[in-house]
Amino acid sequence: QVQLVQSGAEVKKPGASVKVSCKASGYSFTNSLISWVRQAPGQGLEWMGWINPYSGNTNYEQKFQDRVTMTTDTSTSTSYMELRSLRSDDTAMYYCARDGYNNGWYSDYWGQGTLITVSS
Amino acid sequence: EIVLTQSPATLSLSPGERATLSCRTSQSVSSNLAWYQQKPGQAPRLLIYDASSRATGIPARFSGSGSGTDFTLTISSLEPEDFAVYYCQQRSNWPPFTFGPGTKVDIK
């Protein structure tokens, strides 16, 4: 069965960086895409970007363009999302999701989420 | 960037009632729209993709319709486990793949 298992919660100081991992299993890692979505406490969902594990190509939401890097390691079927220059408003749950193709790319399986808290 | 609006913000209904949720996009996304359900403390779950196709394992009481800029998620008869927040997301040709603000379905 498809599973995405994310790394554990972290507390970071403003200005620091964080790198969240997402280990995939149960499907061919290079045949799908990985999206990253975040959710601030009590707020809605925000799409951050995606990566094609086969090619390494990425596409980031413009507001994160200068601070985010998404990568993959195909040898371990793991995707990473690094966010730099953290601010208090980056405090959120961060999700990875597998994007499968069904007449379009849709996030059909999700990780359990990783809580990132930014606080001095 | 395509902006999504959802209405109503909150829908208060009783088990067994029919729920009708609306999602509108600021420009046409053809049928490239998904619906997700999220319960407290859980990750979102894909319900509907391509505007009207049910995802794997989703009960038949969930149905989606619409194309272009106007979309609807219908839950034909609410079960206790259906009380949750529902988000739409557009998946048109180009990112960013924006989400709507959500509709909360709560128990009346």
Per-residue pLDDT of chain A (120 residues; tens, 9 = 90+): 999 999 999 999 999 999 999 999 999 999 999 999 999 999 999 999 999 999 999 999 999 999 999 999 999 999 999 999 999 999 999 999 999 988 888 999 999 999 999 999
Residues with Cβ < 8 Å from A65, sequence gap 6 or more? none
Closest to B99 (Cβ–Cβ): which among A45, A102, A111?
A45
How many Cβ atoms sit within 10 Å of the Cβ of residue A7?
Answer: 17
> Which of B49, B97, B103, B104 should be substituted to probe chain A, the one whose Cβ sees the most A Cβ atoms within 10 Å?
B97
In eight-state DSSP terms, residue A30 is G
Phi, psi of A39 (to 5 degrees): -145, 110
Please name the amino acid found at residue A116: I
Residue A103: predicted pLDDT = 81
Q: Is A7 on the interface with B (CB under 8 A)?
A: no
Residue A101: predicted pLDDT = 87
Q: Is A8 on the interface with B (CB under 8 A)?
A: no
CA distance A46 to chain B (A): 7
Residue A17: predicted pLDDT = 98
Spell out which residues of chain B touch residue A109, defining contact as CB-CB under 8 Å. Answer: 46
- Rounded distance between C-alpha atoms, residue A42 and residue B85, angstroms: 11
CA distance A5 to chain B (A): 12
- Rounded distance between C-alpha atoms, residue A95 and residue A21, angstroms: 10
Residue B5: predicted pLDDT = 98
Averaged pLDDT in 10-residue chunks for chain B of 108 residues: 95 97 96 97 97 96 98 97 97 88 96
- Rounded distance between C-alpha atoms, residue B98 and residue A114, angstroms: 21
Residue A49: predicted pLDDT = 96
Q: Do B53 and A111 count as a contact with CB atoms less than 8 A apart?
A: no
- Rounded distance between C-alpha atoms, residue A105 and residue B24, angstroms: 20
Instruction: Say if CB A32 and CB A100 are below 8 A apart.
Output: yes
Please name the amino acid found at residue B91: R
In eight-state DSSP terms, residue B81 is G
Radius of gyration in angstroms for the set of CA atoms belonging to chain A, rounded to a whole number: 14
